Chain A
Amino acid sequence: MATIVVIDDDSDILDASSLVLKVHGFEVITANNPDDGFRVVKENSPDLIILDVMMNEPDDGFYLAQKIRKEGIKIPIIMYTSISQTLGIDFGANILTPVDEFVEKPISPDELISKVKKHLNAKAVK
């Protein structure tokens, strides 16, 4: 059974996402700030991370993703965004972009599950 860490400071999004993932049989661990997120990722060695880009500061999620990658953790990261266009951060052009896919909130349960499965399968193939 795959384990997924969901990190978002919006507790409603956190609960809704984890419920959808649990119903589809995933093991879910949640965190609502970057520090807790980093800790649970290191402690639980999950198979995939879902991360909100904007927590306390506009790009907390982005820096957390970089921090995770610097630890040598290579599992897929899906990043939730809501205003990727207007943040002024050019994700695409940054060669250090440590994220596998950006998805825009809100995301439907079916879409979320299909994206999670896609990345888990890609990881399995590697």
Chain B
Amino acid sequence: MNSLEPKRVIVIDDEEALRHAVKRILEIEGFIVKVAVNGTEGIKLATEEDYDLAIIDLKMPDINGIDVLKEIRKSKPNTICYIATAFASYDSAIESTKLGADGYILKPFTPEELISQLYKGIEKRNILLETERLRKEREESLLEVAFERTRLKTIINSLKDGVVVINIHGEAVYFNTAALMLMNLEYLPLGIPVVEHFPNEIASLLNSHFLNGENQENTFSAEINRNGEGKLFIEATLSPIKQQNNTLAGVAVILRNITEYKRLELAKSQFVSMVAHELKAPIAATIGFLEILNNPEMKIDDAQRFDFQTRSHSRLKSLLSMVNDLLDISRLEMNKSIREIRELPLNEIISEALLLCQADIKKKNLKVKTNYSPHGITVKADLHEVSRLFLNLINNAVKYNKDGGSISVTAEEKNQFTVVKVSDTGIGLKPEEQAKLFVEYFRAKNEYTKQIHGTGLGLSIVKRIIESYDGKIEFKSIYGEGTEFILYFPAVVIGG
């Protein structure tokens, strides 16, 4: 409390003359003075507001001064209370201080006596207030520390990453539940060396931190076998914790579950080796033919020469389209292609695709049936992508058809979708082949498909394109009879 502020005094006395006299003396001295005419009013006023000092008459008709003091103490422990009495004696003075008065004022008193008493009281009150301030401050900061600790603990415990702190003696001083889970441990004893509980790689790195004073942060990945729950790949980062004098205090170990990344990495490298194999097959076949064509010992005739040249040419063409398919897939995957979303007339796009396959349609003597709704059906999409999609589907319908078979394309608007069906009377798919239909490089291999070259990427491109427009592809197929693909283009294109 600011000591320059005027002090507030309450005078509780049933004697009117005394109240006025005291009020006047103290107001001249610069105090703010309030008066109460009896004990009841005194208690009311002194507990409603905060006073620095209270002068309470001992003998009042309604309530004894000591009882008034007790009431004030209950709610205002820092108000300095004086008992004023005309019957001062050693006993009554002792009695009043015993009962909680800070002092007593002997009636009658001179103004100087009163004021000097009050100043002593103010000093006492200042000390009381300061003590209380300090106590409150301490309580608050303790609370804050306790709260901070709980909060930090809660945060660290809810992390998915594991956290273990090891001190210089190799004892775990802190760990969270994720750490136990990631290291496949049931528990970690606190306060005894625990390095041996850790997976080997972590244990040996911890030792090198402690033995050699390793200063660097170290990150590595380890494989953890979890009983019955399969393997877990974790990435562990060990960071030295330094004391102020730069000596090692301990090591913080952060563990991250990277199993999913490892799985993707494996899938990617399997894909790459698959691609390599698929690219190598046409190269190997072409080199095989060229070796023969260029080898005079082989003594091949013109017909055979022509056959090998034609077949080399076709293998190289299929190699080229495989590379183009791969580029398309990677473009779709990276979302790099710049799309130009427009209303595209479906009949034009399908006619274009049919035209591109015209030579093979004629060669196989296929009948083509198209059936569109009377009003022009459109899809909102990128021209290049939709053309590619239909070319792949129609090309398949031609390639895997039987001689003299037919292809049918229909389109209609249904609910919120444009539904396009492309069906053929081709070789169809066996049930076991159907499950793999959209898998990269899967090509049905059976007695019908022996002589058909393909990249194994066409349908996977179709699926990626339609799904990138939030659409869907389905198919029905009967082995030996034919296949029907059903495409759903949403009428509303998000991000278009």
Contact = CB atoms under 8 A, between A and B. Distances in A.
To the question of whether A and B form a pair in one complex, the answer is yes
B292 A106 contact: no
B298 A12 contact: no
Main secondary structure of the interface of A (DSSP, over half): loop
A83 B288 contact: no
Contacts, number: 67
Contacts of A19: 292, 298, 300, 304
Contact of B285 (A13, A33, A83, A108): A13
B173 interface: no
A119 to B, nearest CB: 20
Interface in B262-303: 269, 273, 276-277, 280-281, 283-289, 291-292, 295, 297-300
Contacts of A105: 280-281, 284, 288
B339 interface: no
A29 to B, nearest CB: 17
**Listed residue (A13, A16, A23, A105) with the most chain B CB atoms within 10 angstroms of its CB:** A16
B292 to A, nearest CB: 6
A4 to B, nearest CB: 16
Contact of B283 (A9, A20, A33, A106): A106
A16 B273 contact: no
A56 B443 CA distance: 9
Contact of B298 (A20, A32, A83): A20
Contact of B276 (A9, A16, A56, A83): A83
Given A12-B285, A19-B300, A108-B291, A86 B273 contact: yes
Given A16-B288, A108-B291, A56 B445 contact: yes
Interface string A41-57: 00000000000001110
Nearest to B295: A109
**Listed residue (B283, B284, B289) with the most chain A CB atoms within 10 angstroms of its CB:** B284
A30 interface: no
Contacts of B445: 9, 33, 55-56
Interface in A16-70: 16-17, 19-20, 23, 32-33, 54-56
Interface residues of A, number: 24
B297 A83 contact: no
B285 A82 contact: no
A60 to B, nearest CB: 10
Interface in A56-105: 56, 82-83, 86-87, 105
Interface of A: 9-13, 16-17, 19-20, 23, 32-33, 54-56, 82-83, 86-87, 105-109
27 contacts: A9-B445, A11-B450, A12-B285, A12-B286, A12-B289, A12-B315, A13-B285, A13-B288, A16-B285, A19-B300, A19-B304, A20-B292, A23-B298, A32-B450, A55-B445, A86-B273, A87-B273, A106-B283, A106-B284, A106-B287, A106-B291, A108-B291, A109-B291, A109-B292, A109-B295, A109-B297, A109-B298
Given A33-B445, A82-B277, A105-B280, 6 more contacts: A10-B284, A11-B451, A13-B285, A23-B298, A82-B281, A109-B298
